[in-house]
Structure 1
Amino acid sequence: MSKLFTQFYVFMLLCATGFAVQAQNITLSGTVKDKQTKEPLVGVTVVVKGQSGGTSTNSSGVFTFTTAAKAPFTLSASYVGYGAIEQQITSSTSGIVIEMEAGTILGGDVVISASRTPERILESPVSIERMSAAFIKEIAAPSFYDALNNMKGVESSMQSLTFKSINSRGFNSNGNTRFNQYIDGMDNQAPGLNFSVGNIVGITELDVDNVELLPGASSALYGAGGINGTLLMTSKDPFKYQGASFQYKTGVNHVNDDNSSVQPFNQLDVRLAKSWNNKFGVKAAFSFLQAKDWFGNNYSNFDRVSRTAKAGDRNSDTNYDGINSYGDEVSQNMRNVALSVQNATISGISAGSGGAIPNIKTLMDGAFGAAVPNAAQQAGFLANLPAALRPAVQNYFPFYVGLKANLIPDQNVSRTGYNEVNLVDYDTKSLKASGAVYYNITNTVQAVAQANWGTGTSVYTGSDRYSLRNFSIGQYKLEVKGQDFYLKGYTTQERSGDSYISSILGSYINEVSKPSTTWFPQYIGNYVGARAAGQGDVAAHTFARGVANQGRFEPGSPQFATAMNTIMNTTISATSINATDPTKSVYGAKFDDKSNLYHYEGMYNFNNAFNNVVEFQVGASYRLYDLNSAGTIFNDLNQSIDINEYGAFAQIGKKLFNDKVKFTFAGRYDKSMNFEGRFTPRITGVFTVAKNNNIRASYQTGYRNPTTQNQYIDLSVGGGSQRLIGGLPEIMFGKYKLDVNKAYTDVSYRAFLGSVATGVPNPALLQQYTFDAKGVRPESVQSYELGYKGLILPNLLVDAYGYYNIYKDFITAVDVYQNVGTLASPTFVKFGVPVNATGEVNSYGAALGLDYLMNKWSLSGNVSYNQIGDLPVNYINDFNTPKVRFNLGLGNKEIIKNFGFNISYRWQDKFYWNSSFASGNVPAYSTLDAQVSLKIPSVNSSIKLGGSNVMNKYYITSYGNPAAGAIYYLAFTFNP
């Protein structure tokens, strides 16, 4: 694959040289000043409109650069906190004076992502949110990514301090596969996960030029995925943003946290950029964050069948399974274990006696009759047996007595687990580095070579809690782009580092300390002994657990540390459990993922060719997923897995009725090697009802393919109690034979276990589950939207929309149980398999946003409403979204000279969270972020004192994930 990527690079370079033409350059120079104070402005971006290249003003407000443009042309100047300005150049190219006025012009932003062509945000045909460099500079949140929550209709699921999944319009999830995220046109997903890992490995704050977010479906322009939305982040051009800048942020978190003392929070960001002769530019950015992560400490009792919380704790429930406790997922029915010991003893005694004693239970029943033997009677019976058989029969007596006296209850017992804090690495780190080289081939054609790389330690929630330690993702791109086209290729290289599954780790530490084949019989035998001695049920359970836990590796002990270190550094695929000799068992919880993504894409815009009479664009893409997990995630231990996808789109738009109406039609066709092709159309209309007042209407469609894991996963989870497998026929039927040896539904399996516990197994209770012969297939959505955006007053911007979505073929999952033994002696294996839900799912909602500016004051607010409609039978509701949430913001960039502030308040309603990890109620919560800032013009710097969740009210955004408290920080920024 690397050879293919290299060949494509060479091809693009050859294409780039074809655009090169010689031109006579001229030099532009001048000064940029504040219109009122006449003071020079430092760091203003000055470019020739419609061309690549440009520069920034120096410490004296002076700019100079060369261009191939011929007069007349237009200079464009932009600066944080000032309205953008354009100035016509007709003759003189030196001594140019540009005066800029402080303030922000509402509705003046230009966006690209809504139509893949520049347009005013007021004229966007679909809902769009935008965050500019000026906005980012003023935010109160610790990072611009945290501030995405302040956007209208946007929500997030926080799995850890640095891992957040962004979403809009419902169906939120921990790892959001329904939401696309791009950085400089590169899909930021981890190939092995199929979703973006937040901004852990992403763009650094000092290098962000703008962020655009499209709520809702966007497949017609961006391909598979993006059913719930698309986020596009664009970094700064070194021709427009030059010089050195850095930011150091220090602070604390875990204030008044019962889990930890106050912990430090530190982050350093650096950016360097330089250009020469408006031809060659380079930039580099670096960011390093270090902090103590939030603690997963939800120890609510968990029903693994319904995936919901239940009453009880370790002291009151023998089958306790804490949500953030791992190892206690391993559970067995007490009576089933006793019956298993009984059957094994009968077989062993029969073989050991050479068939002389075919059934030791029958012999004992004959000796004792209906009575339950006491200790003396048991000793007398043993004395009459051959010496070689006595130990086995003596070990069997507690089970014989327990079953005969009905002392063994029909209930499950779980092993004692370990809390997440003892298993997961909470020492969060995030290191991001990026670099790019730019070359202006002509005044309108630019070549870019870019590399983004990051590594870090964090915690992610999927079907389990995963400790991501020292994982890394690299993205490398080569692109040639002009005002009418682009051609690019990039690769994403994912490396799992030392990442592992926490529940597997907890379970395997238990197995190393004492195998479950020993622990459960020991527990039940001592329970029977305690009950026979006259103890009550609760006391007997307490006694039994205490005996069974003897030898357990306690957190902090050398044995625990040794076992943990060995297991977390041994791969899952190396696990080999030896039931006859546990000392030879090998246990591993580590991933070994080295998956890659290769993507090639091109687009041409014919607008200029058609003299802008009609807008017309075409584009095409090809993508390859190269999965490499060495059998630790995917079914690739003994085979290679590649997934090929390709697609093409076209879009045509036309303004009518004196430019009062604009219609756009777009369509895209995509094909994955494992699924049928998909066509996703889009129709939009924008109607200008008055100057700067527009009504928009759209019909959009979207779809997403089953993820790489939905297709090819083959992974043990839940402490080893379940196996997740892909939904493709080659996995379900080819490897696990679920079409020949059909599995049973979860409900019928539970009913069968109930019959086993009575001692009279009833196989007729088992009901087979039949999978679709074609396996799992893509899900899709149709979205209808009506919206309005306009300036009611010159300083009051209103944005409102309503939407209605229709989803089909939702990808969900089922748990089934396959019998790999016989009906007489069944052995069941539990599988989690992705399937498509039947029927349609409808959702609808609305949002309203207001932005008001008065002098240097800004007031903003938005409210969002989301609701799900009627659900098909047996559909598991994972809407995972509050009905109502709102944001309020107030700020002043300079309430007194050089001093400003900003506050943001957020509230959301309670809702029910449903996921493959855990399900439960997320309480309503509110947070307040605030900051005050001081500009220091003499050294072109600023100081910001702020905090997120300053009231320090701990809250969760999704059930089973950590609660977040306050972060208080002080930041110093040079050359912002």
Structure 2
Amino acid sequence: MKVCRQSFCWLATLLVFLCQTSFAQQQQTINGTVLDATTRQALPGVTVSVKGANAGAVTNANGEFSVRTTHKLPLTLVFSFVGYSPQEQTVTDASTSVNVQLSSTEILGQEVVVSANRTTQSALESPVSIEKIDSRAIKAMPAPTFYDALANMKGVELSTQSLTFKSVNSRGFNSNGNTRMLQLIDGMDNQAPGLNFSVGNIVGITELDMDNVEVLPGAASALYGPNALNGIVLLNSKSPFQYQGLSAIVKSGILSESGRSKGTTGYYDVAVRYAKAFNDKFAFKVNLGYIKADDWQAYDDRDQSLLNGYDLKTGNRSNPGYNGVNLYGDETNVNMFQALKPTAFTPGNPLSNGIAALSAATGGLITPQQIYGAFMPDSAKTFVSRTGYNERDLADYDTKNLKANVALHYKINPNLELLAQGSYGTGTTVYTGADRYSIKNFRMGQYKIELRADNFYVRAYTTQERSGDSYAVGTLGAGINEAWSPSREKWFPEYFGTYATQGLTTFSTAFQQALGSGQNPQQAFATAAAAAKGGAAGFHDAARKYADRERLMPGSKGFEDAANKVKDKPIPGDASGVGAKFMDKTNLYQGEFMYNFKNQISFMELMVGGNYRVYALNSEKTIFAVDDNGDEFRIHEYGGYVQVGKRLLEENLKLSAALRYDKNENFEGQFSPRLSAVYTFLKTHNIRASFQTGFRIPHTQDQYIDLLTPQARLLGGLPFLRERYGLNGPNVFSLESIQAGAPKPYTFREFKPEKVEAFELGYKALISGKLLIDAYAYTNTFKNFNGSQVLVKVTATGQEVYSIPVNYEKDLKSWGWALGLDYRLPANFTVGGNVSYNKLRNEDELGGFQAMYNTPRYRYNLNFGNRNVSQSNFGFNISWRWQEAFVWSSSFVGPLVRVNNLGEIPAYGALDAQVSYLFPKPKVTLKIGGANITGKQYIQSWGNPTVGTQAYASIGYNL
């Protein structure tokens, strides 16, 4: 408490100092207006700065600005805005209004970014690769939403799990719900604290309120802390001071894909934004957005069981052990040969009596074991699975998403602003993990209070996650099966009994006939065995038909009643039945600050920052482990960083170094250094080099999950959980060693955070103001890579199966490169494209470890457009995106099946396009567009839905 009081007093003193020093010199005010030279409309968001000084402002919704400065007259104002030619205006009299008209043009490479160094700088001079979409580009993008447009960025890929749930990735190790890519919305971590993944834009910023998106591929932990292992996505909303008034957009269209239950369905997207600044002190904004559609559907029916000698190419529903990719309940399987053995050789039942009678008829020449093996398939090919249900009969495809945001801003002085912000999102969508999850009536809120200036900020926020009525689709399928016919007690015994009866009857009949025809017992046995083997497919069909005779059919009352009971019962269920409901009410709390000493130190750049975070786990004791008092855990983390920078060689060489330290209570502290250099020559040519590090602290489930599933108990990797379940003993073996026939006791290594060391070289240049070139090459070395290990514990009563996260013993190494070219043609037409390459270098050394690199080697994007053709207010944009086929590794088949090279994600190309027209006086924009307008269906990751064409038309006001 003493430390907290001292810190608070220090912080209060600092804030008072900041407030007071801003008035230390005599100020004068310069007012004016900025208009579009063609339309004569006001231009909001134009940056107005005093040349040679720190003073500046941004125009409001009416194009008005007010600059306060202590600079002596005369002075020069510089007006700059993306997409417009910069302009300078000399001011000799502060009392005279300054009126400026900017001419629209396409100026490449002039974006200002902040994510690369946490300071404002030109994108050309960024020390690392960075991509940006600003509000002007968002309006012109040929994509249904700005989030979809991220796929057009260089080196960035998306994994589509549903219409409203997409995961962003870069530089390899793609996954659904990517936990190696950090996403910040207005500075707040957008991950669901308990579910452990960024929830796309479900709880985020509407298109109307989106100011810009910055994507920084590659390690970024030195400045942004844990989980920025593969990069960061920064989404920043508009200020109510800069963008005022009412804005609205209504978008409607269709989703079309022939494999869905109904091929073509409607799509609706509405958003409203209102912002008001009452004076230069107080402003607020309100945002609402709503999306509704029938979602894309996942219906891949390929057999991923890999049982009975089948694989993905040869497997089909005739395989008794069939497990369809998007069918559920069929994951439950039993080896019939082994399961029937006790019955076959235990006297007193019809099966063993029949086998014994046949053996006796041969005078013992043919043993019971030989007869059993004759009418049963080979032991390696007798796996039988339950009959599954299609995903479309289990998941809720009625996708909807409601977003609401309110923000209050108060300017204590022109350079010091206090704001409070709340964002809330709710909806229904589908997510892919080890299972498919129907995220139904999910709710999440993020609430923040922040004090900021151009050289510091202090913020505190919380993320409140509520899983609502979410459930695991695969578990639901298994639960429905168990509800009407329990596997162990009824379904499998009926199946096996029917098969055995028919198999033994066929064998016995053929055997008797062969003996009667004069064959000796050995010849008759061979004849009968051939007859039994030949009838195996028919026996399986008859057995499944009999066992499924009372099967609950989708749409029936019995099916719906059973489904509702399973969906309402928390995972994993209880003695009365299986539960599929995902219970999670975990909260995250974070406080952080940053201070830039630019006003105190002029010869170099110095910046410091830090944060403190708490996860409050709450699954109502269904998912996470509990302590000795029966309470779920809290996880505490803290970290801090310092960054220094210096310009040398007449300011052409910019050097920077950063060092961050982070500590999670369950792991050793982590240092994350970063070094970078940017050399500028010929004014617009920049060569950059950097060494960066990143790390990922195991997420909340990897630390504390304790969940019994039908296939295994999922455990966190912390030592106390291993001890709780006795996994440190000599009777615990890896699944791989058991499958290889040589059980080997498993020895745990220390569970550590993942780390990456990354080197990057890059070149970025603007040639003749027309050609923008951006290229980079990188290498990554991952240490302590986090994967999962299946363990089998042998006990006196049988076996217990566990799945637990562990670190890979060796380093994983990857490398890649990318090249982007954009060219400004005459009349402001633009053409461009980018290509990226990513490869895992030591893939052949992995053995059975699942690295899940899951990234195509090559992908490219091409684009052509004009935001305002010949100043006619007509615009268009066309893009083509393509990626090659690649192999996906996944745990989607379940924790007991470890398969590298699970299946191929086919190559695909998609054409997106839009045309728009602006009516200047009513401020109305009409837009017609489509994504994947060629209609070629594709999937982006294993188990995910097939994506078709999305066509739309929108009308927007005051965009």
> What is the TM-score of this pair, normalised by structure 1?
0.87
> Which one of the candidate residues 868, 879, 893 is aligned to 2:840?
868
Q: 1:413 Cα shift?
A: 0.4
Q: 1:48 Cα shift?
A: 6.1
For residue 432 of structure 1, what is the aligned residue in structure 2? 403
Q: 1:713-755, CA deviations, whole angstroms, 9 ceiling, x for partnerless residues?
A: 12244xx12222111111122x211112642222343356xxx
Q: Compared with structure 1, are the counterparts of its residues 83 and 457 closer, same or farther at alpha carbon in structure 2 (3 Å cutoff)?
A: farther
1:879 aligns with 2:853: yes
1:975 aligns with 2:949: no
Q: 1:827 Cα shift?
A: 2.1
> Which one of the candidate residues 30, 43, 56 is aligned to 2:60?
56
Q: Compared with structure 1, are the counterparts of its residues 716 and 323 closer, same or farther at alpha carbon in structure 2 (3 Å cutoff)?
A: farther
1:569 aligns with 2:582: no
Alpha-carbon distance in structure 2 between the residues aligned to 1:179 and 1:807: 15
Alpha-carbon distance in structure 2 between the residues aligned to 1:503 and 1:850: 45
Alpha-carbon distance in structure 1 between the residues aligned to 2:293 and 2:8: 39
Q: 1:87 Cα shift?
A: 4.3
The one-letter code matched in structure 2 to 1:900 is: G
Confirm or deny: 8 A CA contact 1:52 1:445 kept in the other structure: no
Confirm or deny: 8 A CA contact 1:308 1:920 kept in the other structure: no
The one-letter code matched in structure 2 to 1:808 is: K
Confirm or deny: 8 A CA contact 2:876 2:916 kept in the other structure: yes
Q: 1:339 Cα shift?
A: 3.1
Confirm or deny: 8 A CA contact 2:307 2:321 kept in the other structure: no
> Which one of the candidate residues 813, 817, 828 is aligned to 1:846?
817
1:650 aligns with 2:642: yes
Confirm or deny: 8 A CA contact 1:65 1:278 kept in the other structure: no
For residue 617 of structure 2, what is the aligned residue in structure 1? 627
Gaps of 5+ in 1: 347-358, 374-398, 578-584, 753-764
Alpha-carbon distance in structure 2 between the residues aligned to 1:363 and 1:112: 77
Q: Secondary structure at the match of 2:448?
A: strand
For residue 744 of structure 2, what is the aligned residue in structure 1? 767
Alpha-carbon distance in structure 1 between the residues aligned to 2:732 and 2:142: 53
Q: Compared with structure 1, are the counterparts of its residues 505 and 93 closer, same or farther at alpha carbon in structure 2 (3 Å cutoff)?
A: farther
Confirm or deny: 8 A CA contact 2:377 2:536 kept in the other structure: no
1:701 aligns with 2:661: no
> Which one of the candidate residues 370, 374, 381 is aligned to 2:359?
370
What are the within-5 Å matches in structure 2 for residues 298-309 of structure 1? 298-303=300-305
Alpha-carbon distance in structure 2 between the residues aligned to 1:608 and 1:259: 62
Q: 1:853 Cα shift?
A: 1.2
What are the within-5 Å matches in structure 2 for residues 212-223 of structure 1? 212-223=214-225
For residue 913 of structure 2, what is the aligned residue in structure 1? 930
Q: Compared with structure 1, are the counterparts of its residues 724 and 11 closer, same or farther at alpha carbon in structure 2 (3 Å cutoff)?
A: farther
Q: Secondary structure at the match of 1:509?
A: helix
For residue 805 of structure 1, what is the aligned residue in structure 2? 780
Q: 1:77 Cα shift?
A: 4.9
> Which one of the candidate residues 514, 519, 526 is aligned to 2:485?
514
For residue 350 of structure 1, what is the aligned residue in structure 2? none
Q: 1:506-540, CA deviations, whole angstroms, 9 ceiling, x for partnerless residues?
A: 11100110111211111011111222333711111
For residue 600 of structure 1, what is the aligned residue in structure 2? 591
Q: Compared with structure 1, are the counterparts of its residues 6 and 166 closer, same or farther at alpha carbon in structure 2 (3 Å cutoff)?
A: farther
Alpha-carbon distance in structure 1 between the residues aligned to 2:227 and 2:722: 24
For residue 736 of structure 2, what is the aligned residue in structure 1? 747
Q: 1:746-780, CA deviations, whole angstroms, 9 ceiling, x for partnerless residues?
A: 2343356xxxxxxxxxxxx43322222x3x21111
For residue 539 of structure 1, what is the aligned residue in structure 2? 538
CA RMSD of aligned residues (A): 3.0
Alpha-carbon distance in structure 1 between the residues aligned to 2:300 and 2:406: 41
The one-letter code matched in structure 2 to 1:728 is: L
> Which one of the candidate residues 431, 448, 465 is aligned to 2:419?
448
The one-letter code matched in structure 2 to 1:553 is: L
For residue 665 of structure 1, what is the aligned residue in structure 2? 657
1:721 aligns with 2:695: no
Q: 1:167 Cα shift?
A: 0.8
Confirm or deny: 8 A CA contact 2:905 2:941 kept in the other structure: yes
Q: Secondary structure at the match of 1:838?
A: coil
1:957 aligns with 2:940: yes
Confirm or deny: 8 A CA contact 1:880 1:911 kept in the other structure: yes
Q: Secondary structure at the match of 1:916?
A: coil
Q: 1:457 Cα shift?
A: 0.7
Q: Secondary structure at the match of 1:371?
A: helix
Q: Compared with structure 1, are the counterparts of its residues 893 and 420 closer, same or farther at alpha carbon in structure 2 (3 Å cutoff)?
A: same
Q: 1:449 Cα shift?
A: 0.6
The one-letter code matched in structure 1 to 2:703 is: Q
Alpha-carbon distance in structure 1 between the residues aligned to 2:371 and 2:498: 10
Alpha-carbon distance in structure 1 between the residues aligned to 2:284 and 2:271: 17
Q: Compared with structure 1, are the counterparts of its residues 590 and 367 closer, same or farther at alpha carbon in structure 2 (3 Å cutoff)?
A: closer
> Which one of the candidate residues 458, 482, 487 is aligned to 1:487?
458
1:730 aligns with 2:720: yes
Q: 1:610 Cα shift?
A: 0.9
> Which one of the candidate residues 671, 682, 686 is aligned to 1:690?
682
Confirm or deny: 8 A CA contact 2:915 2:929 kept in the other structure: yes
What are the within-5 Å matches in structure 2 for residues 127-276 of structure 1? 127-276=129-278
**Deviation larger for 458-467 or 866-875:** 866-875
What are the within-5 Å matches in structure 2 for residues 819-858 of structure 1? 819-820=794-795, 822=796, 826-854=797-825, 855-858=827-830
For residue 591 of structure 1, what is the aligned residue in structure 2? 582
Q: Secondary structure at the match of 2:450?
A: strand
1:529 aligns with 2:501: yes
Q: 1:285 Cα shift?
A: 1.0
Q: 1:822-879, CA deviations, whole angstroms, 9 ceiling, x for partnerless residues?
A: 2xxx522222111111111111111111111133211111111111112434233422
For residue 438 of structure 2, what is the aligned residue in structure 1? 467
Alpha-carbon distance in structure 1 between the residues aligned to 2:675 and 2:656: 6
Alpha-carbon distance in structure 2 between the residues aligned to 1:498 and 1:365: 52
The one-letter code matched in structure 1 to 2:560 is: A
Q: 1:670 Cα shift?
A: 0.7
Alpha-carbon distance in structure 1 between the residues aligned to 2:719 and 2:307: 25
Q: 1:134 Cα shift?
A: 1.1
Percent identity of the aligned residues? Answer: 44
For residue 895 of structure 1, what is the aligned residue in structure 2? 869
The one-letter code matched in structure 2 to 1:448 is: L
> What is the TM-score of this pair, normalised by structure 2?
0.89
Q: Compared with structure 1, are the counterparts of its residues 179 and 533 closer, same or farther at alpha carbon in structure 2 (3 Å cutoff)?
A: same
1:675 aligns with 2:675: no
Q: Secondary structure at the match of 2:239?
A: coil
1:904 aligns with 2:879: yes
Confirm or deny: 8 A CA contact 2:55 2:69 kept in the other structure: no
Q: 1:710 Cα shift?
A: 1.0
Q: 1:554 Cα shift?
A: 0.8
Alpha-carbon distance in structure 2 between the residues aligned to 1:74 and 1:7: 45
Q: 1:302-359, CA deviations, whole angstroms, 9 ceiling, x for partnerless residues?
A: 137999953455542000011111101110111222135569x77xxxxxxxxxxxx8
**Deviation larger for 520-529 or 86-95:** 86-95
